[in-house]
């Protein structure tokens, strides 16, 4: 297993295996270790690269705007630095949102795309999750001007309360095969997950038993579903 800092501001990643690159993008406030149940499994057939996005895990915050589009641009720089031009992407939650934005912006880099628990805009989240996020965002808004920890929390909350901002019709431009997944008890509205899949021309929709974190809680079915998609 290889770990390295390869970007000017120190983007961190874990790498294992050989073959076609499979890049893993974690969710909000997490890091590449979220995919511990996937790394060894897929490393038998793929070059698995689990990235810590900007300001997450061991990757520094840097000075650029803390936005999903910035993370997508970071990914392009990462792939360019490693001379990777056609990769498979697997993104969870905000990582899925980053993957969608990246695929729309840099389509030539993506061979196949799999997203789990992604959303196009904040209202795709169930109210029971979104409302507390918005309340916390308001709570931290003023203290963030003076307190670094509050600012950090506010930035993470903003990624959910204010982003993403993807129009369903934009997904019509995605030409690569796409697997759209969610848990049967996901914090993403079922109709929103169906909207994502229905807006992508070449997509497959799959609901797996479990919550938002099905890569952890139902890893066996999750891994087999992704594996089948990648091998088709």
Element (H, E) at 127: helix 127-141
What whole-number distance in Å separates Cα of residue 5 and Cα of residue 25? 16
pLDDT surpassing 90 at residue 183: yes
pLDDT at 171: 98
Most confident of 8-12, 61-65, 163-167: 163-167
Which residue(s) pair with 22 in the sheet?
48, 88
Mean pLDDT score across all residues of the chain: 95
| Residue labelled with tokens 């990582």 | 95
82 or 47: which leads in pLDDT: 47
Q: Indicate the angle between helix axes 127-141 and 148-161, nearest 10 degrees.
A: 150
Question: pLDDT tens digits, residue range 72-98?
Answer: 999 999 999 989 989 999 999 999 999
pLDDT surpassing 60 at residue 5: no
| CA angle at 44 for the pair 43 and 47, rounded to the nearest 5° | 40
Determine the average pLDDT of the residues in 40-48: 98
Question: pLDDT tens digits, residue range 52-67?
Answer: 999 999 999 999 999 9
Question: pLDDT tens digits, residue range 145-162?
Answer: 999 999 999 999 999 999
Contacts of 230 (CB under 8 A, 6+ apart): 22, 46, 88, 112, 114
**What percent of the chain is predicted at pLDDT more than 70?**
96
Other CB atoms within 10 Å distance of the CB of residue 67: 18
pLDDT at 4: 44
Other CB atoms within 10 Å distance of the CB of residue 53: 27
What's the pTM value of the predicted model, to 2 decimals? 0.95
Domains defined along the chain, listed by start: 2-121+166-231 (3.40.50.1820), 122-163 (no CATH)
pLDDT surpassing 80 at residue 7: no
Determine the average pLDDT of the residues in 30-48: 97
pLDDT surpassing 90 at residue 8: no
Contact 170, 195 (CB under 8 A): no
> What is the CA 12 to chain-centroid distance, rounded?
15
Dihedral sign (CA 117, 123, 125, 126): negative
Between the CA atoms of 201, 220, 210 and 47, what dihedral angle is there, to the nearest 10 degrees? -50
pLDDT at 10: 66
Question: pLDDT tens digits, residue range 104-150?
Answer: 999 999 999 999 999 999 999 999 999 999 999 999 999 999 999 99
């Amino acid at each position: 297993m290889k770990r390295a800092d390869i970007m000017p501001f120190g983007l961190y990643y874990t790498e294992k295996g050989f073959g076609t690159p499979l890049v893993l993008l974690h969710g909000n406030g997490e890091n590449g270790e979220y995919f511990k149940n996937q790394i060894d499994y897929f490393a038998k057939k793929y070059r698995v690269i689990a990235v810590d996005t900007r300001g997450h895990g061991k990757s520094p915050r840097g000075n650029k705007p803390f936005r999903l589009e910035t993370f997508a641009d970071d990914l392009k720089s990462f792939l360019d630095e490693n001379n990777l031009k056609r990769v498979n992407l697997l993104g969870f939650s905000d990582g899925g949102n980053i993957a969608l934005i990246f695929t729309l912006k840099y389509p030539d880099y993506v061979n196949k795309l799999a997203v789990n628990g992604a959303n196009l805009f904040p209202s795709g989240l169930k109210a029971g999750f979104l409302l507390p996020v918005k309340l916390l965002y308001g709570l931290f808004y003023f203290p963030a001007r003076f307190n670094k920890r509050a600012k950090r929390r506010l930035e993470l909350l903003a990624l959910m309360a204010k982003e993403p901002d993807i129009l369903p019709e934009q997904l019509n431009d995605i030409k690569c095969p796409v697997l759209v997944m969610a848990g049967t008890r996901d914090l993403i509205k079922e109709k929103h997950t169906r909207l994502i899949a229905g807006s992508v021309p070449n997509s497959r929709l799959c609901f797996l038993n479990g919550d938002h974190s099905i890569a952890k809680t139902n890893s066996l079915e999750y891994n087999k579903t992704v594996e089948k998609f990648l091998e088709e």
